[in-house]
Amino acid sequence: MTKHADEIQERNYLVLCLQAIGEQREEAVQREQSLQNNVISLKETFWDDVRINFDTFSDIEETYLTMKQQAELLSGSEVVQQHIVKSIQVYDRLQQSPYFARIDFLPQNQQEPLQVYIGVANLFDEKQDDILIYDWRAPIASMYYDHTPGPAHYETPTEQIQGDMLLKRQFIIKNGQLQAMFNTGLTIGDDLLRNILAQNADEHIRSIVATIQAEQNKIIRHVQTPHLIVEGVAGSGKTAVALQRIAYLLYHYRNQITADQIVLITPNQLFNQYVNAVLPDLGEDNMQQLTFSDYANQRLGRQFQLEYPYEQLESLLSEKDDTRYQTKLHAITFKASHAYRQLLDQYLGYLSKQGLLFKNIVFRGERIITAQEITKYFYSLDTAISIPNRLQFVKEWLLQCLTAIEKAERHKEWVEEESDLLETEEYTKTYSELLQEGRFAEDTFDDFEQERRTLAKQIVQKQFMPLRRSVTQLKFVHLLGIYRQFFTHQHAGSLPPQWEEICHYTQNNLTKRLIAYEDIAPLIYLQDKIEGQRTNTTIRHVLVDEAQDYSPFQLYVLQQLFPYARMTILGDGHQTIHPHTFHNPSLLAPELYGEQVAKMVLTRSYRSTKQIIHFTSKILKTEATIEAFNRNGTEPTITVVTNEDDLITQQVERVNSLTSQFDTIAIICKTAEECQRAYDKLHPYLEVQLVTSTTKQLKKGILLLPVYMAKGLEFDAVLLFNASNTTYSRETERNYFYTACTRAMHKLHIYAIDTLTHLIPQ
């Protein structure tokens, strides 16, 4: 067939698909409108169709069943309506670009090849009883990503299908128009990928299922082990692949797992917004998103002031005194270690026999149950019973004590004073209750006394309610005191040389009720071991992005929280910025997961130009295998100036020259403190957005942000605000500096005052 005839055939097929999409969309719109009318009608007539009768037990039962049936009918109609609305959204996307590829596959022992068109969703032609478009997640579609023309195969749930791929073709279709088509051989067309990568950055991550590479496809479709580690260099597409993996799992296990049973652990809320559009673009609902700090805040935030991870980094990166810096660093790394967890376990063994601390229970300024009494009762219980179970016995005992004390309080003078101050409404309410209970008899004259007793009971009950709630929530356990005591306890075994300094530093924080970021996971662990494990058994899959910045201790907490979840762990050891993994294995270490784990490595970077990748790879001290995708650009520039005024002048000129070419230009500083200083200098000349830890969404334009807020993001052009040797002086900041440089897609410009950082090789 000639090239011209080929193109005519493809255009005809596109018309066929668009016609089918249009017809099916119209049918869906009509069904949705009919259902909507039905739902409105059901809501309007809900009570008309329900017979309310409470005369007898059978009448009550019949009334309940009628209401239940009506509610289920209404709920079912709304669910179907939502499903149709979702399918209309898929049709809208298909109308823009129905498919992006075609493969012709001849299975063994068959005469006619299958023509498989691949898009973001299935399209079935009921008239012809034929599949017009296959979802990219379908088993047969995997050949497009994994094979070149020639012998090929794909896996079904039951067998492997062998055969020959006769054709592999790509399409560029926009607004329903065929703009280009070309056959491809060795890989998914570099021309198409290069064209997409050359585009400007967006405020949301892009999910390009048309250009998934073979090594990425293996990650997306991996289901053999419960844990999968993906270590990928900067710009290798880890996050996009992870989200496409979720879309695949929702498709592959569509009768077993839903989006709300998947949780993505992200570094910050800004990152959440950055990835928010991917799954809806792929036709799936968004999963839950959570930061470790969010979870910690739910657990501990009401009782203590918690340090956020960026506050820890800011404090460490801004620290000028080397002694204080080293103390903080030692505290952070040791508290993230397995050795620290063992130390806590030994301490818990001690607490099982003695030393557990409780709070006094106070009512109206008086101790009604002392901490000593609670301690005595707790340790009177059998030590063979676990601490959490013994605390349940203590809780029941305390509630009984409160009941007895509450009864005694009703006769005290303060209760009568409170009743005298009650509003008329309260009296009326009490009288009505007594009347309803039949407590007023015609032949007695003690109505006033009964009223007084009832009011007293109500007043005391109301006052004791917060105490009962606190006891039920185990607030009588002195968690802060128990953790503070840990740093004065005589521990057996070896301790780090800096233990005394770590204890002093930690106790200063705890005295202020400040829980440093490195103490959060250990404190949650300690609380769970004392009060009982909190778990979420509904979650079936957990993704952890930027996993190199989580400690083994944090992993253990997550595994305890989600005991039935499989995990996908993504990160890059070269981008480690949080110090707790400097001397500990990060979540990228397979040994943390036992035997049921697979690890895959992505070495090819697609984000940056070849010149930027070659430059940034030299910053790393260790040997790193980083392959640059063949996309050329200009060399990164280095500009050294003598003072800050020259620095501002040069950067304003540079930014003004870049704004006509690019949508997102990031000026990256080392810390938030430096960002604020830079903003004060730059904003009179540039319309710049200062990005902070409270920023919820990125806008296109000129952004000013610290490195740790830029992590995981990408920008058309990056300016490093001040890469001087005084700014980036410590060896521990090498990965931090590398992370800043690798945010650039097309242009990288580095500035320094006086002397360039030694982290850039001469």
Binding site per annotation, positions for ATP? 232-239
DSSP assignment of 67-113: HHHHHHHHHHHHHHHHHHHHHHHHHHHHHH-S-SEEEEEEETT-SS-
Of 732, 592, 570, nearest in space to 216 by CA = 570
Two tokens, residue 338: 């397995």
Q: How far apart are the C-alpha atoms of 86 and 82, rounded to whole Å?
A: 6
Residue 201 DSSP code: P
The Cβ of residue 606 has, within 10 Å, a number of other Cβ atoms equal to 24
Q: Are 630 and 194 in contact (CB under 8 A)?
A: yes
Strands of the sheet containing 227-232, edge to edge, are: 288-290, 262-265, 541-544, 566-571, 227-232, 597-602
CA dihedral over 603, 608, 611, 616, signed as positive or negative:
negative
Of 615, 461, 549, nearest in space to 271 by CA = 549
Q: Are 700 and 715 in contact (CB under 8 A)?
A: no
Helix (H) or strand (E) holding 124: strand 123-125
**Positions at the binding site:** 232-239
Strands (E), 575-690: 597-602, 604-605, 627-628, 637-641, 664-669, 688-690
Cα distances (Å, whole numbers) of residue 389 to 341, 474, 532:
22, 12, 8
Q: How far apart are the C-alpha atoms of 701 and 689, rounded to whole Å?
A: 8
Report the SS3 class of residue 699. coil
Q: Are 730 and 700 in contact (CB under 8 A)?
A: no
CB within 8 A of 479, min separation 6: which ones? Answer: 303, 523, 526, 527, 530
Report the SS3 class of residue 9. helix
The Cβ of residue 638 has, within 10 Å, a number of other Cβ atoms equal to 15
Q: Are 182 and 167 in contact (CB under 8 A)?
A: no
Tell me the chain's radius of gyration from C-alpha atoms: 33
Two tokens, residue 491: 């521990």
CB within 8 A of 58, min separation 6: which ones? Answer: none
Q: How far apart are the C-alpha atoms of 349 and 500, rounded to whole Å?
A: 22
DSSP assignment of 567-595: EEEEE-GGG--SGGGSSS--TT-GGGG-S
Cα distances (Å, whole numbers) of residue 492 to 335, 458, 519, 526, 531:
17, 53, 21, 18, 24
Residue 221 DSSP code: T
